[in-house]
Amino acid sequence: MQHIRNIAIIAHVDHGKTTLVDKIIHATHLFRENQESGELIMDNNDLERERGITILSKNISVTYKDTKINVIDTPGHADFGGEVERVLKMADGVLLLVDAFEGPMPQTRFVLHKALELGLKPIVVINKVDKPNCRPEEVHDQVFDLFFNLDATEEQLDFPTFYGSSKQGWFNTSLEQTDSILPILDGILQYVPEPKVEEGTLQMQVTSLDYSSFLGRIAVGKVTRGSVKESQWIGLAQEDGKIIKGKVKELYIFEGLGKKKVSEVFAGDICAIVGFDDFQIGDTFVDLENPEPLPRLSIDEPTLNMTFSINNSPFFGKDGKYVTSNHLKERLEKELEKNLALRVEQTDDANTFLVFGRGILHLSILIETMRREGYEMTIGQPQVILRNINGEQCEPYESLVVDVPEEYASRVIDLATQRKGDLHIMETKGEMQHLEFEIPSRGLIGLRSQMLTATAGEAIMAHRFSEYKPFKGQIPGRNNGVLVSKNQGSATAYSIEKLQDRGRFFVDPGEEVYTGMIVGEQNKPGDLVVNIVEGKQLNNMRAAGKDKDGNIAPKILMTLEECMEYIQQDECIEVTPNFIRMRKKILTEEERKRAERMAKS
């Protein structure tokens, strides 16, 4: 049997995880020329490349000093915690990557807590020591305090530390610069234990899944006991206790950036099994004669929900390929198979589904992926999930950390306290003020865009779910009203120019609009219905002077997440492959007024 190490790399967003994995690939001379071509090669998806964040965990494997190292790159956002919680089950050690200036962030804490609970051996890597203002020794002390606060064992507290720069490609046990990343690989061999192998029959829990158009669904996990062979008959223990008999058609292990077909996999290695279609994440492959399933994976509960329904706007079906409620239902059910932190419920309306997730980013990535696949849908306002605990209504609270230049600190505190946030820590880090708040999750919806506006884009925000606490009452929403289109047609430069003193627009001249669509933000509270499709009267009378059509301010571009945070209870978002439009749920002004009267009576 080959020597094996299984290690997961965890870090906050932008602390350099994926760069470190790239350097490990280069250091072990694993070039793309050697890799197997075909369906099974892992590749980053477009969304990850565009946003520069890891969304899906990925496995690669490198060989160093005759030892196979399985490296698992994990997402840094707490919103993708479900992805992290399940893949940590495959690891025996964890590489905690921390920025030498920022130190451990809230989402680092979340993932580290999960790793320590599972008893994984930690190695701390303090990255970006080449940056100005970095403070590696201070960050090392903060990491130790974090371990202590998370109830790490004596053995876990005695963690080895490496300093260096992923970008420059060097690491060392001291701050002295070297020219190599190999000390980290030596550290993995020295400090990460070999996989624990128990005596007994086959046990392999499915912790991830892959898909190939040739082979169908592929189960990925670590063989914790026994071994599994190609063409062997084995059992699949499901959630309801049933054991399904099946044959292993093909067996793969991870090698380099792809997978390699093998005839047998022994305990301790991570492998992929082809031959079973009816499996879920958390199921266990077992021996048919002596089945002993492993306990199922437990995943933290979602904190937000949103309604997903068919697109019922006047532009329905113009842009997308999949537009019916059946299409929507099938796609959400498919997502549930691999997205463990997601829940979907059918509502009283057959065309509407309630989707529960970990946060705005978690749900927006799902919506973005669906629209790129050709789906059209209508998305409602995100709502936090309230719970009744000991007879009291409770809501989720989050720990919010903001790093901001000193001159903007008072504005940040003001914005957070307006939204029922309590300031717990305020300290100076270099030229930045470090602020920590406890704030209801509701207060975070829409806060990021306000905070970036108030701090000229300088604020760095991070937050993570902490606990459920008593409901804190009403939180003020959006201050300004919206401009709503009165007619359907093409927006004209003439109308937009005349209405510019009323607010800022989300559409440019020539864009198609419809009745009830939100076309801009008003300068004051309350909604205003406007006609932006009116053209200029073309008669023979001309006043002296030129037309002023050239004085139109450019439209405000809003991302999907910004729209999700912007809309109110009576509004929704129309999402199609090429357009994201905000609109009123009830399109005509008369109907909206009637509904308002009914609600009051």
CATH node for 387-470: 3.30.70.240
Query: Is 422 labeled as ligand-binding?
Result: no
The CATH number fitting domain 3-191, selected from 3.40.50.300, 1.10.340.30, 3.30.70.260, 3.30.565.10: 3.40.50.300
Please give the pLDDT value at position 47: 54
CA 55 distance to own-chain centroid = 6
26 CB burial (10 A radius; 0-12, 13-18, 19+):
exposed
Residue 54 annotated as part of some ligand binding site:
no
2-6, 418-422, 454-458: range with highest mean pLDDT: 418-422
**pLDDT of amino acid 516:** 93
Alpha carbon 64 to chain centroid, angstroms: 32
pLDDT tens digit string along 73-101? 777 565 666 667 777 888 889 998 888 88
In the structure, what pLDDT confidence band is assigned to residue 477 with cuts at 50, 70 and 90? confident
Spans of all domains in the chain: 3-191, 203-286, 387-470
pLDDT at 378 over 90: yes
Task: Report d(CA 73, CA 95) in Å as an integer.
Answer: 10
Tell whether residue 129 is among the known ligand binding residues: yes
User: Within a 10 A sphere around the Cβ of 365, how many other Cβ atoms?
Assistant: 25
Percent of the chain topping pLDDT 70: 89
Interior/surface letters 285-304, b for 16+ CB within 10 angstroms, e for the rest:
bbbeeebebbeebebeebbb
Nearest-angstrom CA–CA distance, 204 and 206: 7
pLDDT of residue 478: 77
**84 is known to lie in a ligand binding site:** no
Confidence of residue 43 (pLDDT cuts 50, 70, 90): very low
Give the 3-state secondary structure of residue 304: strand
19 is in an annotated binding site: yes
Strands (E), 187-283: 203-205, 208-212, 216-225, 227-229, 233-237, 243-247, 250-255, 258-261, 264-266, 270-274
Tell me if residue 284 falls in helix, strand or coil: strand
> Which range is least confidently modeled, 250-264, 327-341, 542-556?
542-556
3-class DSSP state of 6: strand
- Confidence class for position 445, pLDDT limits 50, 70, 90: confident
Cα 527 to Cα 60, 521, 557: the distances in Å are 53, 9, 20
492 is in an annotated binding site: no
Region 409-420: what's the mean pLDDT? Answer: 91
* 70 pLDDT tier (thresholds 50, 70, 90): confident
Residue 303 contacts residue 385 (beta carbons within 8 Å): yes
Least confident window among 140-144, 147-151, 358-362: 358-362
CA dihedral 426, 80, 41, 263 (to 10 degrees): 120
- Is 18 annotated in some ligand binding site? yes
pTM over 0.75: no
pLDDT tens digits for 249-293?
Answer: 988 888 877 788 888 888 888 888 888 877 887 888 988 888 888
The pLDDT, as a whole number, for residue 34 is: 47
Give the closest residue to 295 by CA, choosing from 82, 89, 87. 89
> In angstroms, what is the C-alpha Rg of the chain?
27
Domain with residues 203-286, CATH architecture: Beta Barrel (2.40)
89 is in an annotated binding site: no
Name which of 372, 426, 345 is nearest 49 in CA terms: 372
Q: Where are the beta strands (DSSP E) in 372-431?
A: 377-379, 383-384, 387-389, 392-405, 422-429
* pLDDT band, very low/low/confident/very high, at 537 (cuts 50, 70, 90): confident
118 contacts 89 by C-beta, under 8 angstroms: yes
Angstrom distance (rounded) from CA 137 to CA 419? 36
Per the listing, tokens 């306990």 go with: 295
